[in-house]
Homo-oligomer: A and B are copies of this chain.
Amino acid sequence: MREVAIVGVAMTKFGTSEKTQVEMFAEAAMEAINESGLGLKDIQAVNVGNADGNIEEGQAVIAPMCAADIGLSGTPATRFEGACASGTIAIRDAFIWVASGFYDIVLAGGTERQRIMSTPLATRVMGMGVHSRYETPTGLSFPGIFAMMAHLYASKYGIPLPELKEAMARVSFKAHKHGCINPKAQFYGKEVTMQMIYDSAMVASPIQVFDCCPISDGAAAVVVTSADIAKRLTDKPVLIVGTGQGSSGAVCSQKDITRIPARELSAKRAYDMAGLKPEDIDVCELHDCFTIAEIVASEGLGFFEPGQGYKAALNGDTDIGGKIAINPSGGIKAKGHPVGATGAAQVYEIVKQLRGECGPRQVEGAKIGMTDTMGGSFASIGHLILKRGW
């Protein structure tokens, strides 16, 4: 297996789009290809992460439509679906293809257009990430799952709920603080105070509106190639040095959702491949679909001991300049969560951070970064570890 690098990255502004999913992908893809210094004809395969495009727009077989839209008709074009982890899986596959030498240059990313759906439909569509035979009939939806996670976390570690709620509010506040200064974020320019967070409507106790990520439209794309090719194109190639993927079944089959074995297994695979440890990571974009999810992920990735993640959030250890910078982009919470695009947008942010191109939200001196993406009922989990290649 040879060294693999990322040479071009782009994303649309997340939020509400009048463009179709194909058009959004094309926008991100063309910008990523242009940034890479490669030409269209150099792209040998197109991988597209997309979760629910057939419901959102009546568009199946979206990857070939994306390829054709940018003039790459004929090129192998594959759609990957792992709910919210779709984009990460698409990029991970591109990594395997390039690492193995089967292809030299693969365009990979994701796209999703959710805001075209009514709220009731969006709620049902997002809810398709649980087990349709065992869980959908119970009415289980994601705010409910993460509310259970919060109660279990508080109970397991003996944390008074108000203290956990404050930690969750801090996660939200940090996300919005970063999203407010990220021009690509859905909530760019929107200042959020702790009081606004505490005053927001209850969704599924203890989850309030400001504990939840939004429904979003957007796309992101990256160009994956060999390190050798990358070094000819740029003096700042970012290497993919580790990747992992894990899976789980129905939530009801999982023993303790304050620890997610699929994540820990997947992260271990990525760390082992990279020969790195959690303490080596300078910056991480992780799956904060709900504020409690960030706390649990920060432990699952090994940044903090189990039961200590909430304290880290309270202490600012996960802020830019803290022990580990988590979600400097604003994360899913404030950057937005067009689910198929999310993993690719995480990679976009980490690449920009490692290159030092993040302006006011830059994590100074970041050399190694990680992405963590979780789809469905902790069902599909993917990790990538990226490293400065210079």
Contacts and interface: CB of A to CB of B under 8 A. Distances in A.
A60 B128 contact: yes
A266 B266 CA distance: 33
B74 A262 contact: yes
A250 B20 CA distance: 14
A55 B57 CA distance: 12
Interface in A39-90: 45-46, 51-52, 54-55, 57-65, 67-69, 72-83, 89
A277 interface: no
A136 B285 CA distance: 37
B253 A68 contact: yes
A80 B78 contact: yes
Interface in A315-369: none
Contacts of A79: 80-82
A179 interface: no
A61 B96 contact: no
Interface stretch (A188-196, A219-227, A374-382): A374-382
Interface residues of A, number: 66
Contact of A73 (B64, B65, B249): B249
Chain A facing B: main interface SS: mixed
A375 B78 CA distance: 11
A247 B46 CA distance: 10
Interface stretch (A99-107, A169-177, A291-299, A303-311): A99-107
A129 to B, nearest CB: 5
Given A20-B132, A54-B55, A99-B100, A61 B245 contact: no
A31 interface: no
A259 interface: no
Contacts of A55: 54-55
Contacts of A136: 58
A89 B78 contact: yes
Contact of A82 (B63, B72, B125): B63
Given A64-B82, A81-B81, A100-B102, A74 B248 contact: yes
Nearest to A100: B100
Contact of A380 (B52, B61, B250): B61
B102 A132 contact: no
B376 A69 contact: no
A63 B381 CA distance: 12
Contacts of A132: 20, 57-59
A22 interface: yes
A375 B79 CA distance: 12
A20 B134 CA distance: 11
A289 to B, nearest CB: 14
A128 B63 contact: no
B52 A247 contact: no
A4 B136 CA distance: 39
Contact of A96 (B67, B80, B100): B100
A44 to B, nearest CB: 11
A139 B22 CA distance: 20
Given A54-B128, A79-B80, A82-B78, A133 B61 contact: no
Interface of A: 1, 20, 22, 45-46, 51-52, 54-55, 57-65, 67-69, 72-83, 89, 93, 96-97, 99-102, 124-125, 127-129, 131-133, 136, 245-250, 253, 261-262, 265-266, 375-377, 379-380
9 contacts: A57-B132, A60-B81, A60-B128, A61-B129, A61-B376, A63-B247, A68-B248, A75-B246, A96-B97
